[in-house]
Amino acid sequence: MDSNSTGNGSAGPPGHDAAAYARREEGLSPEPLRDAAWNVAGQRASGVVLDVGSGRGGWIRRLQGNPAIERILSTDIHDAGASRLPGVEFHQCDVSRDVLPWVDTSVDWVFAIEVLEHLANPRHFVKEAFRVLRPGGHLFITTPNNDSLTARLSFLVRGYFPAFCDQDYRDSGHITPITELDARRMAVEAGFQSIDFDYPLPGRIPRSSIHWQRFLPGLRGRWWSDGLFALLTRPA
């Protein structure tokens, strides 16, 4: 999970630009999220794979355990260590505004694990991901689920989604909440036709750390999950 914005450290919202990213404690996607992402998409990946917002390379290390992956590309606004992983081609860039440094139709999979909420312009990134993907290629994204019952109640009562309070904005760089409708619109604008949503994570009861599933294990879907997963496929 990594904040992405201006690669030259120019001014921006707190937690948004490169300088702020470098100063704050590095964000890390929790392992249960990575476990779910691996089960949904990571173990299915093959060919040339691009990891966006690589941070220290936690997701890349997962991908390196997939023998079907031939080459791993990586990018982030700040090099927190991914460039030092063996066999990884790293480029530092701001995916919210920069052109991805790879040619058209050259990548089979693009992963953005907990990235979109950090971007000032996620639409630009989704369009760039579409550009570099080969026909039939996939963009897999995860982001906080702002369509859940807990998220809707938070917005109704407090005026913001749970992962987008002032502290998240300032310290974690959570600046852009994404809903399923937002993700679908961005995908269609970019040219994706196949868009599959999944909600494999549990969801917290409002104002607690307890999950709904502790009492009702069968609860599934976007109303009862803290995470939105989406698999976007470029037409073949």
Q: Domain total for the chain?
A: 1
Would you give the end-to-end CA distance of the chain in angstroms?
Answer: 30
Q: What is the pLDDT of residue 29?
A: 62
Per residue in 171-189, pLDDT (tens digit) is: 889 999 999 999 999 999 9
Q: Is 140 a domain residue?
A: yes
DSSP E strand stretches across the chain: 47-52, 69-76, 88-92, 107-113, 133-144, 194-198, 227-233
Q: What is the CA radius of gyration of the chain?
A: 17
Please report which confidence band the pLDDT of residue 6 belongs to, taking 50, 70 and 90 as the band edges.
very low
- Phi, psi (5° rounding) for residue 8? -100, 10
Partner residues linked to 142 by β-bridges: 113, 229
Q: What is the mean pLDDT of residues 110-134?
A: 97
d(CA 222, CA 199): 6
DSSP summary character for residue 42: G
Within a domain: 1: no
Look at residue 25 in the predicted model and tell me its pLDDT. 40
Could you tell me which residues are beta bridge partners of residue 231?
140, 196
How far apart CA 49 and CA 72 sit, in angstroms, is 5
Q: What is the pLDDT of residue 130?
A: 98
Which range of residues forms the domain containing residue 141?
18-233
Q: How far apart are CA 107 and CA 157, in angstroms?
A: 43
Q: What is the model's pLDDT at position 19?
A: 53
| C-alpha closest to that of 60 among 49, 68, 47, 70 | 49
CATH number at residue 127: 3.40.50.150
- The reply to whether 187 falls in a domain is yes
Residues 188-216 have pLDDT tens digits of: 999 999 999 999 999 999 989 899 999 99
Distance of CA 41 to the CA centre of its chain: 13
Specify if 2 maps to a domain. no
- Count H helices and E strands in the chain, helices first: 7, 7
Q: Give the pLDDT mean for 7-21.
A: 42
Does pTM surpass 0.85? yes
3 lies in some domain: no
11 belongs to a structural domain: no
Q: Are the C-beta atoms of 223 and 204 separated by less than 8 Å?
A: no
